[in-house]
A and B are shown apart, each in its own frame.
Chain A
Amino acid sequence: MRANYQVNSGVRFQMLSDDQLQEIFESVLHVLEYTGLEVHHEESVSILKEAGAWVDGKRVRLPSHMVRRALELAPRSFTVYARDGNPEHDIHIGPGRSHFGPGPTCPNFIDVESLERRPYVKSDVPLVAKVVDALPNIDFCESLGTVNDVHHDLGATYEFAGMFPNTSKPIVAWSYDKYDSEEIHKIAVAEAGGQEAFELRPNYIHYCEPLSPLVSTQDALDKLIFAANHRVPLIFTPCPIAGGTAPITAAGIIIQAAAESWMGLTIAQTLQPGLPFFMGGVLSVMDMSNMILAYGAPELSLFMAGITELAHYVGLPLWQTGGCTDSKALDEQAAIEGSLSVYFSALTGGDLCHDVGYTESAMTGSVFQLAMMDEAIGYSRRITRGIEVNEETLAVDVIHNVGPNGHYLREQHTRDHYRSEFFYPNLCDRRNYEEWEMMGKQTMSDRVVSRVQDILATHEPSPIKPETEKAIEDVLAAAENRVKE
């Protein structure tokens, strides 16, 4: 029994002080109250007006009490469930828990056979989901691409239909509009066993994106309202670009992004109090020489850490970003940018870290980058897990028993803890030179490629129910009919 004794579980990381966080928080409320946003959605405007917002045409300003109430209603902790009931694939959102997964909508993909860059196609979707399902440190699924070889309105529906049977890890579903949102939901509900069962154990998360600066678009709000009405956990994630569509300063972009997220939060909580809601998003810089949104910039990690601290300060989970790169190849730049952002994200405890596997500044999805980052996440998780201090780990008795000149290889204590104390790499090579030479002098990228190809050749995800297979067929047939008209 201990008394008055403090334990740090994991590595402590805090960048902003409470005073700074409070100042940022008050500034977000100020922007929402005095500047407001454009809301391009009539139904949402009237919902907000009725709830007490100040409306002037499309311009909506939120009195701070409305935002504070919405923040109070949204939960900090909840669970998103594996579709097959595998508890290891459940995602428990809450303080000190970070999760990782890919991102959506890259136009291109690195072909898993030729390793060449080409447009993303429908048959890539199941491969990505399978790799996600197999990688131990990847927790949720997105597709890493926009399907190019189906009707241009049906990409998201085919994407979900391709992912769902190939991983039981929860999917973050991106969609174009309320129509494909509904199609996606039908598939998920079929597996859950009806809407009521889904509400008890939601098996996917819905993703919507407002526009920076300060616009809530028609499509984003259509999707938000659909998710809120059906109690689908929701991500509302802007993608402001510092110096372009947001202030160039870190504090400024964080404030604007939060204001954009909290407009969505306020609508969602008004419609469906207590709806699980993640604020976003992707905050990075516009590279002032190349005019791209940089995915490997150190500022991305810094901005994301800042907005994570703000989210946790107000009691919301955050849609983090990391594991991505501006590099076009599976090279040293990709490893540096991806690993550092993954590690920094893990330190913040940001709740769902997405875009793992993005290359070429989000233009090309790569399961190879994803697999390499799986290793970096494992590495980061071992560090952030920190040092446990108790009678067993202090090992004073073991030190005494072994004494000078002894060794610990045969100690029960070693056997009891060697699995949990150490991180065992899957990809990083620790062989001696002779063995490494004998194994063909493989580099990291060689090993990444073989691991991915090995997973694709051998991994069997758990199957979906027969009725869900039928539901997918029906949904796709109906969707094809929808776009014929």
Chain B
Amino acid sequence: MSETLSKLSTAIIEGNLEVMEGLTQQALEEGNEAQEVLNEGLMPGMDHVGVEFKAGNMFVPEVLRSARAMQASMTILRPILAESGVELAGKVLLGTVKGDLHDIGKNLVSMMCEGAGFEVKDLGKDVEPDTFVEEVKNFEPNVLGMSALLTTTMRAMEHTIKSLEEAGVRDQVKIIIGGAPVTQAFADQIGADGYASNAASAADLAKKLISG
């Protein structure tokens, strides 16, 4: 592996945002394909971060910094990869459902997904079912993630799925849900494709659903 790719891995692990753009450009100029930069530079770094995080040796702020470093590089790589027709990790659309203003958990999911290499679009909070439908049509995500903290607002997940069905786009996307009151049983009941109990497993679940 080239020295520059190994430097990229280290920079990801250290969350060294400042050097990402330069190193990515350098790796490309040295003749590496964009996909090599992704698979042999960025991903080994993020994989290491994931392992260390699960082992309790790295903490959320460090993981987020690594994720951000990853995104800085992806901003350069993504158009090149798209042009050459390479399959990307995928696109994730996220939002806290209608009536709910709690979004710290959803923000964590967003950042964890970025770290996993996804292109993420975050619709924010109190998102209308129709807005989800529009964005599924326009952004064409592989995965739609919905979040709710309140037992009173988690019903809006069901309404959103209904709206997607009515618009005929339900089958274009895998739907995952999460939030403190949400359970696997509830996910099954409303016809979601998956449930994750925390932000890190949400990113893992998204990966699993896309590859499966």
Q: What residues of chain A have their CB less than 8 Å away from a CB belonging to chain B?
A: 405, 407, 409-410, 414-415, 418-419, 424, 432-435
Contacts and interface: CB of A to CB of B under 8 A. Distances in A.
Contact of B198 (A407, A424, A432): A432
Contact of B64 (A410, A419, A432, A433): A410
B65 A415 contact: yes
A70 to B, nearest CB: 50
A419 B61 CA distance: 10
B107 A407 contact: yes
A434 B60 contact: no
B197 A418 contact: no
A409 to B, nearest CB: 6
B61 A407 contact: no
B60 A409 contact: yes
A424 B125 CA distance: 31
Interface residues of B, number: 15
A407 B64 contact: no
A311 to B, nearest CB: 39
B114 to A, nearest CB: 11
Contacts of B103: 407
A227 B197 CA distance: 60
B65 A435 contact: no
B197 A432 contact: yes
A409 B198 contact: no
B205 to A, nearest CB: 12
A418 to B, nearest CB: 5
Contacts of B64: 409-410
Contacts, number: 31
A407 B197 contact: no
B198 A435 contact: yes
6 contacts: A407-B103, A410-B68, A415-B62, A418-B59, A433-B197, A435-B197
A358 B60 CA distance: 37
A414 B107 CA distance: 15
B185 to A, nearest CB: 12
A414 B68 CA distance: 15
A394 B125 CA distance: 28
Contacts of B197: 432-435
A344 B198 CA distance: 36
Contacts of A435: 197-198
Interface in B85-122: 103-104, 107-108, 111
Nearest to A434: B197
Contacts of B107: 407, 409
A452 B194 CA distance: 38
A418 B103 CA distance: 20
B11 to A, nearest CB: 16
B198 A414 contact: no
B148 to A, nearest CB: 16
Contacts of B198: 432, 435
Contacts of B68: 410
Nearest to B107: A407
Contacts of B59: 418-419, 424
A432 B68 CA distance: 26
Nearest to B68: A410
A413 to B, nearest CB: 10
Contacts of A424: 59
- Which 9 pairs of residues, A with B, have the shortest CB-CB distance? A434-B197, A415-B61, A432-B197, A418-B61, A407-B107, A414-B61, A407-B104, A409-B64, A410-B64
